[in-house]
Amino acid sequence: MTVKLDVKKQFLSKFQDTVIQGRKLLQSGNHRWADRLLTELYFEIERKEWLDIQKKHQLIMIITNSWWMYLNSLMQLKTKDSKVDIIKYIDGYKRFFSFLSKLDNFYLFNNFTTKLLKTFIKMEDISLSGITKFINSFCVKVSEREEYLKLVELQILLMYIRKSVIPQEFYHFSMEIIGRTIFKIEPSKRSLFLYILLENINLNYQLMEDSEEFVKQINKILQNRLPSYLKNEFSNLNRMTVNERNFMTVLGDLEELIHYLNDIGESSWITVIIKNVFEKLNKYKSFGDAITYIRKFIDFSLDRNQFDIAFKIYDYLEELFMVHTDLGYDNILIELWVEASKKFVEMKEKKYLLQSLEKLNTHLKIPQTIAQIYHYFYTCNFLWQFKSMFFSLEQRDFWRMMFYRVLFEEQDFELANKIIPYLDKDLQEIIPFPRQLYNEVKSFMNDIYSFEDERFAPKMLEENFEIKQMILRIAGSGSISYRMISLQDQIIEGKIFNEYWNDAQIIELFNDIFSSNPEKRFNFSLMEIGKLSYTFLPRTIRNFFKQFQIRALKIVPEIFFILENMTIPFELIYDNNFFLLKYSIGYIIGEPPLGGVTFDYHTDTLDEVKPHDDISVLIIDCTNSINPLKWNESINNKELIFPFFGGTEELNYITNFFNNQEEIKEIVVLSGEYSTRNHIISQLVNGNHSIIHFVGNIFYSKWNPYKSFFLANDNEIVTFYEINQALKQNGNIHPFLFFNSQLFDVKGKKIRNVLRRFGDIMKDFDHNYTTGIIARSIPIFDEETQEISSNFYVNLLKSSSQGVALLKARQECISKKMTLAIEEELKDLKEEEGSVNTDLRNSQAISSFILYGNPWKKLN
């Protein structure tokens, strides 16, 4: 679901204001109204279908943290002379947990509730009735979520605190859960399982120093309250002991138990054993040995699709590493969650990826040293890749990724320096000049962490691979695949596994530079945006293009983009030159043909080729230069509603051009009173025209782009669907279509973002009945665009393929501009000034023509 940027900004601004208001209400002690305000804000977030799962989670976490910070502040107000307002404290927590219970996120609820429970346990004057009610209310939620291991843990904890058993529903249910599990285990390992279960509760809540004594106490409390079917199993616990002498034997039994529990479908108990194994290995061996041992169960869990177990292990590792951190920038914690994100990124369910990214962002603090700065941006590049498939990314994600790629992958120091102002202010203050930063980190760049998965390694071409044609497909999901054919007809194809196309920010750069606003948001030239667009490409694709550069290109390589929706103008990508001046480029919008793309295997060079001599041209005027009209009170007269300034000149220019081409044997011009719906449809169905050139206004329908239309001079509409159907009925010839047009919406408002809108129209257009289509991505109509149009047709009529014809037209235009620029500078050059430095101004004209269709096709 697409939503305008200003709607998103308005919602986020309102969200920020509401959060601030809610926090003020909390600080004033007005829990009731703060609760209503923040809860309604949560439901409003959930109602917004255009918010993706990551953004919703981020906004909900802001609300959650507002509550948590407030509740923590209540405890911090405690001094020698003042006590905590217990009523306010309890009411605040009650409303906070009520809010958490509404979220579909048990992980959050469990974390915050467990933190509070551990706080209660440490109190000296704890109320037994109060803690009983709290734990049982927690058990209600746990039971609803079928988190049975947590239910057992809470009930045994309650027994220990009370030193007795309350024979209630939750107690009996927890005993039933233990019984159902334990009788699936062979008798010789049941005591070990029970011992580890009870010991882990002691370790988790740090109840007693001696875990063996804790197990004995729990066994004693349960002695007279155990169900009869469990008495024999618990009676064996008194003979159970685990110490340094027998641990290696016990470890083998525990590992067998882990595998067995997984096999019988009781994998939720595995984390209990893994945590216990760590504690023992850490005690009897070393911290490093313990970490290494339990890490192997991450892949064990993932290989068996037990993603929840794998996440719990990562979560436990974080808890262990946090003990050894100084709360500053910590490479180990960052790399832990980068690894977790990589593991979870390919899952269909994104819950664990989302939680891993949340953890990663938490630990990705402002770096302090040069080495940490490199580590930070290197990680940000991974963060972009992980997020790109599923989430709409933010400006800060985009610029951090771009800074890394521009500086450390492309070594463009000047462009990297221009990116710095768009980074967070805290980062701007610590980054030295890019060249200095690069030189200082170069020595340890090879020592940074990496993934060994060969799918993620940047691919290179074979040394003798000379590119002839390339297909680059970007699916609706953002997945990127490629297929390349060499001059020797070798085929290389593949898919980018570690990054998806997520173009919102790069489109914003193009929209900004092409906007009519005199003040630009971004301080980049068109060439620099082209470089950024090139750097935005996945590294594998960039490697391919770099290898194209080092070969002597005897022919013009063809690049065919298959896009679900129109994205950036790829012609304006810049490596050592703009793509539009190097490659023959074409587009298809929508799904690729079911039979695949079939290339015409011909060699189309930049040399002159044999011209056509029997071409018929149809020129259609839909400039609305006659009607419709509206009354203008200020001039006391009627005026055109949809004026096409320069439309008449465009028509006259193209008509005169074709009249002077010897290859053209017939020209039919539908203009003035002849430009009616019936005449247009009749010519499309019955004519034998190789070229059909439209000049006019297109009225774009966002609800049904294929039904976008021209308004003929008889005030009747001609839709693109009807144009396509008429060409199908004709069937005699597959014409080339040229749309020299500007776009309005159906309400008559002129559209500036023409590229994407026309792409929407082309998405359902059947290209099997045309040679190709050229449309204007920028509504510029001047001498330069006229020159490109005529040069294109000259090359097309001389039997160049349509992609090469457009490439030549652009090259001729830029060559002429360069010649004029040099001549102008030479006029003003003084003898003592030396050589000439040519500053060729950016030309929007050469980039305003987009080819839809196979670039290798020629005119019929």
Higher-pLDDT residue of 695, 55:
695
CA nearest 485: which of 546, 541, 559, 551?
559
Lowest mean pLDDT among 154-168, 447-461, 666-680, 700-714: 447-461
Residues, the chain: 860
Lowest mean pLDDT among 198-207, 746-755, 817-826: 817-826
Q: Is 672 left (phi over 0), alpha (psi -120 to 50) or beta?
A: left
Residue owning tokens 């630009």: 520
Residue 813 has pLDDT above 90, yes or no: no
pLDDT value for 5 = 60
pLDDT value for 554 = 60
Q: How confident is the model at residue 637 (pLDDT cuts 50, 70, 90)?
A: confident
Sequence-ordered alpha helix ranges (H) in 442-490:
none
Q: How confident is the model at residue 599 (pLDDT cuts 50, 70, 90)?
A: low
pTM: 0.79
Q: How confident is the model at residue 284 (pLDDT cuts 50, 70, 90)?
A: very high
Report which DSSP code applies to 574: B
Rounded CA Rg of the chain: 35
Residue 608 has pLDDT above 50, yes or no: no
Compute the mean pLDDT over every residue in the chain, rounded to the nearest whole number: 86
Question: Could you give the CA distance from residue 500 to residue 502 in angstroms, rounded to a whole number?
Answer: 6
DSSP H or E run through 511: helix 504-514
- Token pair in block for residue 73: 């502040």
**Three-state DSSP class for residue 718:** strand
User: CATH top-level class for 615-822+843-852?
Assistant: alpha beta
β-strand pairing of 480-486 with 467-474: antiparallel
- When pLDDT is averaged across residues 469-477 and rounded to a whole number, the result is 88
CA nearest 548: which of 515, 517, 584?
584
- When pLDDT is averaged across residues 756-776 and rounded to a whole number, the result is 88
Question: Could you give the CA distance from residue 398 to residue 421 in angstroms, rounded to a whole number?
Answer: 13
709-756 residue pLDDT tens: 999 988 899 999 999 999 999 877 899 999 988 899 888 888 877 888
- When pLDDT is averaged across residues 394-413 and rounded to a whole number, the result is 94
Higher-pLDDT residue of 685, 606:
685
Q: How confident is the model at residue 683 (pLDDT cuts 50, 70, 90)?
A: very high
Give 753-784 as a DSSP string: -HHHHHHHHHHT--GGG-SEEEEESS---SHH
Question: Could you give the CA distance from residue 419 to residue 401 in angstroms, rounded to a whole number?
Answer: 11
- Token pair in block for residue 126: 């704890």
Q: Which residues of 430-511 form beta strands (DSSP E)?
A: 467-474, 480-486, 491-496
Burial degree of 6 (CB within 10 A; 0-12, 13-18, 19+): exposed
Judge whether 559 and 605 are in contact, CB under 8 Å.
no
Torsion of CA 87, 92, 95, 101, to 10 degrees: -120
Percent of the chain with pLDDT over 90: 41
Higher-pLDDT residue of 847, 372:
372
Sequence-ordered alpha helix ranges (H) in 389-471:
395-404, 413-419, 425-430, 434-441
Judge whether 155 and 132 are in contact, CB under 8 Å.
no
Phi, psi of 561 (to 5 degrees): -100, 125
pLDDT value for 832 = 45
pLDDT value for 101 = 85
Lowest mean pLDDT among 310-319, 410-419, 837-846: 837-846
- When pLDDT is averaged across residues 574-594 and rounded to a whole number, the result is 83
Distances (CA, A) of 136 to 106, 110, 261, 270, 284: 16, 14, 28, 25, 37
Lowest mean pLDDT among 294-298, 686-690, 756-760: 756-760
Give 1-21 as a DSSP string: ----HHHHHHHHHHHHHHHHH
Residue 45 has pLDDT above 80, yes or no: yes
Residue 185 has pLDDT above 80, yes or no: yes
Q: How confident is the model at residue 577 (pLDDT cuts 50, 70, 90)?
A: confident
Lowest mean pLDDT among 269-283, 319-333, 448-462: 448-462
- When pLDDT is averaged across residues 542-555 and rounded to a whole number, the result is 69
Residue owning tokens 């616990």: 237
223-234 residue pLDDT tens: 888 998 998 889
Judge whether 492 and 483 are in contact, CB under 8 Å.
yes
Phi, psi of 665 (to 5 degrees): -100, -20
Burial degree of 258 (CB within 10 A; 0-12, 13-18, 19+): buried
DSSP H or E run through 616: strand 615-622
628 upstream amide cis, omega within 30 of 0: yes
Residue owning tokens 């102002």: 421
DSSP H or E run through 336: helix 331-344
Q: How confident is the model at residue 272 (pLDDT cuts 50, 70, 90)?
A: very high
Burial degree of 124 (CB within 10 A; 0-12, 13-18, 19+): exposed
Report which DSSP code applies to 577: S
CA nearest 851: which of 480, 478, 558, 645?
558
Question: Could you give the CA distance from residue 622 to residue 417 in angstroms, rounded to a whole number?
Answer: 48
Question: Could you give the CA distance from residue 27 to residue 635 in angstroms, rounded to a whole number?
Answer: 61
Which residues touch 346 (CB under 8 Å, ≥6 apart)? Answer: none
- Count of beta carbons in the 10 Å neighbourhood of residue 636: 7
Question: Could you give the CA distance from residue 798 to residue 28 in angstroms, rounded to a whole number?
Answer: 80
Residue 471 β-bridge partners? 483, 560
